[in-house]
Structures are given as structure tokens and as C-alpha cells.
Amino acid sequence: EPEVTQTPSHQVTQMGQEVILRCVPISNHLYFYWYRQILGQKVEFLVSFYNNEISEKSEIFDDQFSVERPDGSNFTLKIRSTKLEDSAMYFCASKGAAQPQHFGDGTRLSIL
Amino acid sequence: EDQVTQSPEALRLQEGESSSLNCSYTVSGLRGLFWYRQDPGKGPEFLFTLYSAGEEKEKERLKATLTKKESFLHITAPKPEDSATYLCAVQARGGADGLTFGKGTHLIIQP
């Protein structure tokens, strides 16, 4: 069964550094998403992306965040200057038209 | 603001002991309500989508139902492999595409 793949599974970064989280969505999907889950809290929506542009973003997705689909298979989330409070699990999701979102297994981001 | 509240936070059952998980929601026009299962260290795994009050979906030992204010996930004769955190999420109408999740119910099925 096709699945969403995320790399790395765990990323450790110094505060203030830039980090890029990578996702390979399911191949025929057109809608892409990033969510985060701080330890012990809810899964929170960050951003949705369709037709090479952001379609919706939450209040969490401020100027330090950006997303990109650099080629036909990858979808990335960049955090420009990481803060301690960015430590969380980051999940990528994708879906086709009129389908539910399917999630990857996440990247655990640890900011030191 | 869309809100999802799940109860109980945690539930421990004996194998074969049926029960229900609750998801109460407030949303400005419901486009869909989703149930996901999340195992430790994994991403949410899709289970069901419900679109309108009165709708029911079933898969193996799980059945999801929907009213105008809440959804239930009924688990019949559960097995230890059903142990997981069950997440409820809503999607609002009007173009908003992101899901609003509840905190989940952590279910443990003891053999």
C-alpha cells in the first residue's frame, strides 16, 4: 500500500539554526499538509499546499516557516531560525481529491 | 473557532469488553469528521470519514457514528492489538482544509 515517507525520523538542531524536514507524499496525491504535535498535546495544523502554492495556514505558521515542492516528488518544511518551542513531532500528510488525508510517521525535531 | 473534545482521555478494558469513545465537536459547518488510530512513534492512520448526522461506518470491530454534536467510536469485543490512541478530527466547510484534532483517547486492551 502506498505511504507517505518522512526523513529524517529524528533531527537534533541547535537553537537558531535552520532545519529542513522532508516528505515524499503518495505519488498521485495533489494536496499536501504539515502538522505538528508537541509532546502530550494535540496534533495541530500548520499549512496546506495545492497547485504549487499555500492554500491555508494556521497562526502557528509564521514568517520563520516556509514550504516548498522543489520537484515532482518531495515536499519540504523549512524552519529558518529554530526556537526551543519548535521541538515537536512534525507530520506530513497528503491526499487525492475527495479523499482523507494520509499521514507519514513523522520527524521528531529536538532543539537544543 | 473549531473545537474537538474527546473522552475519556484514557480507557483500560479487558479483552472482549466492548465500549465506546466519545468525540464532541463545535465547527462552523461540518465538511467531515475523521477517526484516526495512532500507535506509539507513528503517524495517524486513517479509519473512517463521516459526513452527516445519522451516518455510520464499520470496519472489523470498530463502528463510528455521527450526530450533530458528537461522534462515537464503538469497539466490540476488542483484542490487545486494538490498543492505541484514537484521534477524532473535524474539517470545516468554506474552503478550510486543515483538520482540527482532539487530544485523543488512549485505549489499552488487556489480555
* Residue A69 DSSP one-character state: -
pLDDT for A25 equals 96
Question: Percent of chain B, pLDDT > 90?
Answer: 89
3-state DSSP assignment of residue A85: helix
Express each pLDDT in A23-36 by its tens digit: 999 998 999 999 99
3-state DSSP assignment of residue B82: helix
CA A91 to chain centre: 5
Measure in Å the smallest separation between the Cα of A3 and chain B Cα atoms.
Answer: 10
pLDDT at B88 over 70: yes
Place A72 in a pLDDT band, splitting at 50, 70 and 90: confident
pLDDT for B95 equals 62
* Chain B nearest-CA residue for A10: B41
Best mutation target, A101, A105, A107, to test chain B (most B CBs within 10 A): A101
pLDDT at B97 over 90: no
Decide if B69 contacts B25 (C-beta within 8 A): yes
**Gap between the Cα atoms of A101 and A98, Å rounded:** 10
Q: What are A50's three cell numbers?
A: 495545492
Measure in Å the smallest separation between the Cα of B75 and chain A Cα atoms.
Answer: 22
Q: Across residues B6-34, what is the average pLDDT?
A: 96
CA B110 to chain centre: 20
HSE value, Cβ hemisphere, 13 Å, CA-based, for A105 = 10
Contact residues of A toward B, CB < 8 A: 4, 6, 31, 33, 35, 41-48, 50, 55-56, 58, 91, 93, 100-106
pLDDT for B79 equals 98
Supply the mean pLDDT for chain A: 95
Place B96 in a pLDDT band, splitting at 50, 70 and 90: low
pLDDT at B106 over 90: yes
pLDDT for A73 equals 87
Place A43 in a pLDDT band, splitting at 50, 70 and 90: very high
> Across the interface, do A56 and B87 touch by the CB < 8 Å criterion?
no
Q: Across residues B13-35, what is the average pLDDT?
A: 96
